[in-house]
Amino acid sequence: MSTGVAYLGDSRAILAACRDLIEAAEHSIVLQMYLFASDGDQTMLLPRGGTFPYADTVAGWLIEKKRQHPQVEIAVILDSNTPSNPALTRRKGTMPRQRMEQAGISVLTANLFGTRFDRRRRRWSAMNFHLDYHDVSLTDWVERQNRWQFFHNVEDHRKNLVIDRGRAGAVLSHNFLDAAHDWHENLIWLSGEASAQLWRIATRALLEALAIPQPVPPERAASLRHLAYLPPVPPVAQLKPRLIPVEGFGGGLTVPVDLPPCLPLDTQCKLVENEEIRPVLLELVEDALPGDELLIATAYFSDLPVLEALGDAAQRGVKVRVLIDSIDALPLPEPFGWLTRSLVNHRVLCRAEQLQQMHSMRFQLRIHESTGGVMMHLKTAARTGHRPLLLGGQANFTPNSFSGAWLETDVLTGEPSVVEAFVRHFELLWSLPASRPLQPSQSRLRSAMLTALLHGFERAGLRP
């Protein structure tokens, strides 16, 4: 069976595609979202100000769908980095998740106990939530799990939307977060085999979520379990996004969208999850031949084995370009913001300096400076040349995204139009004034101090 697949890098098209999926749903909608919050609703992230109401806009579409079509089952599964208690947020107003719950939409907290972490009992009770959660009040559940997941560095980082038992779906890099409304993101639209696979991923997460305490009435929980056990639908007429611009939204980089009358079909397209992602990424890199080019766009890059594979590719004649972000746009309070900016990409930047010197004609790294608030938030790799291939989705190039500590979904496709669309997007990002070439470190002492600090965090289990 083949997959209809399309790449969207335009911010307006990404928002419109999410609306298209919600409006097209006839039977069911399952949304997995890492962050789904209005500006000021996060307990850690600071308000950005002047943002588009992204979260309330998407929540409004889901609420309207439920109002007009009550027979459509809607389940939203959120990582516990999305708060549930407005009293603990900065804005303290009605949150999108509350609006959805009040409208009869099932909003569940993701089950993180299947992630990879050290399960031993610790002296500090906050780290033992996975052992003691039965004693926790439901009203405190999300915040308690959020504190626990911070210390174990686990996340459900997925951002997937699938309708009608896999009739169509989307894998996004983008959170439904107001502060991120104009960030550089992408979305891969799917129908056919890969969207059926996305249905299996989403409903597995739904069953896992229902295995832990949830604020869902028993009859609704039974209906959700029934939904989760339904198999994907057989292939039907291909659903294509309409992409009519959303009124009032004008943020982000304009990336031309050129979809053919019918979506191209890829018989090899598949979804890759969690621990499977690094081996697939390494194969994409290691199979590159002299004359090919590797294009990497990832906000976070701390996985040295992948960087070394890119260096080896440059050594054998492959052109390599890497674009990362400075992480300045992430609205964290200090000192957390400084620590994140200084440490998360530190080791890769140090090694990348050496690779640029060794392979000056074939290896380049640029840093997208996001001090203006707009983050380069993609997580995509592509190979151009003899056999084009793209791997993109949610997984940052970090050990935790590759180990199973963070739950991720990526799409692997060789469809030429998808690779070409990403290449056009990448070239736009690469040429932005904010995307600056990596410069040699000015202070070896500072670099050594950061390395030592990073080592200390890793020894404590807080590896970025």
Model pLDDT for residues 216-261, shown as the tens digit of each residue? 999 999 999 999 999 998 766 689 999 999 999 988 899 999 898 8
- How long is the chain? 464
pLDDT for 453: 75
Amino acid 236: pLDDT: 67
**Superfamily (CATH H level) for 3-228:** Endonuclease Chain A (3.30.870.10)
- Residue 117's pLDDT is what? 94
What the block records as the tokens of 345 is 């990409």
Distance CA 322, CA 16 (A): 29
pTM comes to: 0.95
Tokens read off for 359? 């392979």
Return all residues near 439 (Cβ < 8 A) that are at least 6 apart: none
Pinpoint the alpha helices (H) of 7-158: 11-24, 54-68, 96-102, 129-132, 141-152
- Residues 265 and 359: their CA atoms lie apart, in Å, by 37
Locate 396 and state its tokens.
Answer: 């940052």
Q: How many CA atoms lie within 13 A of 323 on its CB side?
A: 27
CA dist 123 and 118 (Å) reads: 13
Residues of the chain below pLDDT 50:
none
What pLDDT score was predicted for residue 460?
67
Which pLDDT tens digit goes with each residue over 193-209?
999 999 999 999 999 99
C-beta atoms surrounding 285 within 10 Å: 24
* Superfamily of segment(s) 269-459: Endonuclease Chain A (3.30.870.10)
Picking from 178, 191, 76, 170, the residue whose alpha carbon sits closest to that of residue 394 is 170
User: Range(s) for CATH 3.30.870.10 in the chain?
Assistant: 3-228, 269-459
Beta-strand relationship, 28-33 and 379-384: unpaired
pLDDT for the residue 338: 82
